[in-house]
Structure 1
Amino acid sequence: MSAPQATGTAPEQTRRPALAGGLLVATGLSDVLAAYGMIRSGSFIVLGEEGLYPIDVTAWSWLHLVAGVAVALAGLVAITGRRGAATVAIGCAVPALAVDLLLLPYAPIRLVLVAALDVAAIRLLLRHRRATGRAG
């Protein structure tokens, strides 16, 4: 049984991980900056039927900060195009996407844009893995 044939041209196969890595670095840095801002700002004030309520999202913000750092580093690894880099990048981007969706009520427009870029990067990495016929 022969190995699967790689589809696409060589420059196209090297551009996918580089573009996906760049997207992941950008979204990771965006998450880091947003999380730092939320940590420094303190509580959100929510208006309810019976008055104002402070909501503290500091713990979620720390989780967001860690996820952003992980995604930015995974993006740098994905740019190298080494074997296993796509798997590592996908493994960091998926939990970061979940954390982004958990914080959606607090910054909806930014998080929708970041989530869309994360999904695009994951799709590029999956297409790269399928085109090269390897798990990395």
Structure 2
Amino acid sequence: MARTVTGWVGWVWFAAFGLLTVGLFNLVAGLVAAFSSQHVLAWTGEGVAIVDVSTWGWVHLVLGLLLVVAGFALFGGSAWARYTAVVLVVLNMVAQFVSLPTTPWWSVVVIALDLVILWALIVHGAEVERSLA
């Protein structure tokens, strides 16, 4: 049986490059926030909360590192890399959603890119596995 590879496989390579890009974005944002001594006031229904930006920076830093590793692993076309990437992209979407009040435009752009990456991995990822098998 001949394996046919269509142009849709390119979307998975796009997703791998997208993961690298989003991961690097997170690494830069995480580094800036992790080493910041700034605190943010957040108004809640219960009162005012003081949020330490550096703690949230470490979350972005670790998530960014994992996204970069998953992006490189995705170039191999393995199923575990695709499944891991899907979980990490969803986690990144949640992290960006939480960051919406502080960085609204940046978060919306990254969430939109995450959606395209998620679509590419879920819809076209299996074809890459078949083409490498």
Question: Pick from 77, 80, 85: which aligns with 1:84?
Answer: 80
C-alpha displacement at 1:104, in angstroms?
A: 1.8
Query: Which secondary structure state, in structure 2, belongs to the residue aligned with residue 12 of structure 1?
Result: coil
Structure 2 Cα separation of the partners of residues 68 and 17 of structure 1: 19
Percent same amino acid among aligned pairs? 26
Give, as a single letter, the amino acid of the residue that structure 1 aligns with 2:113.
L
Q: Which residue is equivalent to 2:5?
A: 10
1:126 aligns with 2:125: no
C-alpha displacement at 1:85, in angstroms?
A: 2.2
Q: Which runs of 5+ in 1 are unaligned?
A: 1-5
Structure 2 Cα separation of the partners of residues 106 and 67 of structure 1: 18
C-alpha displacement at 1:54, in angstroms?
A: 5.8
Query: Which secondary structure state, in structure 1, belongs to the residue aligned with residue 79 of structure 2?
Result: coil
Question: Pick from 17, 33, 40: which aligns with 1:38?
Answer: 33
C-alpha displacement at 1:84, in angstroms?
A: 2.7
Give, as a single letter, the amino acid of the residue that structure 2 aligns with 1:65.
L
Runs of 4+ with deviation above 6 angstroms: none
C-alpha displacement at 1:108, in angstroms?
A: 1.4
Q: Which residue is equivalent to 2:19?
A: 24
Contact 1:17 1:86 in 2 (8 A): no
Q: Superposition RMSD on alpha carbons, in Å? A: 2.6
Over 3 Å counting, the alpha-carbon distance change for 1:16 and 1:56 in structure 2 is same
Q: Which runs of 5+ in 2 are unaligned?
A: 44-48
Q: Which residue is equivalent to 1:56?
A: 52
Give, as a single letter, the amino acid of the residue that structure 1 aligns with 2:7.
E
Question: Pick from 50, 64, 75: which aligns with 2:71?
Answer: 75
> Residue by residue, what CA displacement relative to the aligned partner does 1:114-134 show, whole Å, maximum 9, x if unpaired?
111111101100111465798
> Residue by residue, what CA displacement relative to the aligned partner does 1:25-83 show, whole Å, maximum 9, x if unpaired?
100100110111112222145498xxxx8642221211111111111111111122123
Structure 2 Cα separation of the partners of residues 77 and 133 of structure 1: 13
* Alignment TM-score, normalising by the size of structure 1: 0.76
Number of aligned residue pairs: give it.
124
Contact 1:70 1:92 in 2 (8 A): yes
